[in-house]
Amino acid sequence: MKTVLNKIIEAHGGESRWRKLSKVQFDIVSSGKLFDMQGFPQDLSPRKMVELHKQHASMRPFGAPNQKTNFNAKRIAIETLEGEVLFERTGNASEIHQHMTNGNWDALDRAYFNGYALWTYLTSPFLLLMDGFEVTEINPLEINGEICRGITVQFPQYIASHSSTQQFYFGSDFLLKRHDYFIDVAGNFHAAQLLLNYVETDGIKLPAKRRAYKKTADNQPAKEDLMVAIDISNIKFS
């Protein structure tokens, strides 16, 4: 498994290059049924996300031109651009996550979801190098006519994410092609997220498009159920 993981990391830019980076900034446009279900339909204007190499993220603007989010696994806040806290929720990752399962989201729920989802996406597959992640190889899966190698990943408790167990599938080039997980905070469904349009920035390869669908009983994305669409651009690592 270590040899496979090394090839995966190298295909996306390599461990040495990744460890020299501290954050990535990018513009994002997101939409999909999931946000509508939770009473937070997305507008289609790009937002700037500042994403740190550890599990911390900040999105701006959020709710108003002078507001931003401040996310880590144990705290979510909506603040002014000057840092004044307007709204805040604290607790361990499972406590804050549990709040999101109680019905329609409030603004802090939405901000927390945005934070952990985008952190997971922008650090994959390099997050597998962090302490506490357990990786096991699973059966391959055919994706768009290509047989893709699969792994299942057990996330450590200190990381906030969609679910504690997630699956990742890699093509013959060892780039990530599909990411599967369970969503219990909105609709209780298994998701199959396709990763498309890879770009290279500062030596790191990542997909510019992500499309997450409900997963069918035969383990395929249900194309009629697009739950989340994400397009990113103007990517810059530092």
pLDDT tens column, 33-52: 665 555 555 555 667 776 77
Task: Please name the residue ranges forming H helices in the chain.
Answer: 2-11, 15-19, 33-37, 93-99, 107-123
CA angle (4, 8, 12) in 5-degree steps = 165
In this prediction the pTM is 0.92
Residue 167: its H or E element = strand 165-170
Which pLDDT does position 102 carry in this prediction?
83
Structure token digits, residue 182: 């369970």
Nearest Cα residue to 63 out of 107, 95, 7: 107
Place of tokens 């900040």: 58
Whole-number pLDDT of residue 51: 77
User: Which residue(s) pair with 190 in the sheet?
Assistant: 182
* pLDDT on residue 40: 55
Q: Would you state the structure tokens that stand for residue 225, as one six-digit string?
A: 């159920």
- So what's the pLDDT on residue 95? 93
What's the mean pLDDT in 179-194?
A: 93
Closest by CA position to 81, among listed 94, 92, 70: 70
Q: Which domains does the chain have, with CATH numbers?
A: 2-237 (2.50.20.10)
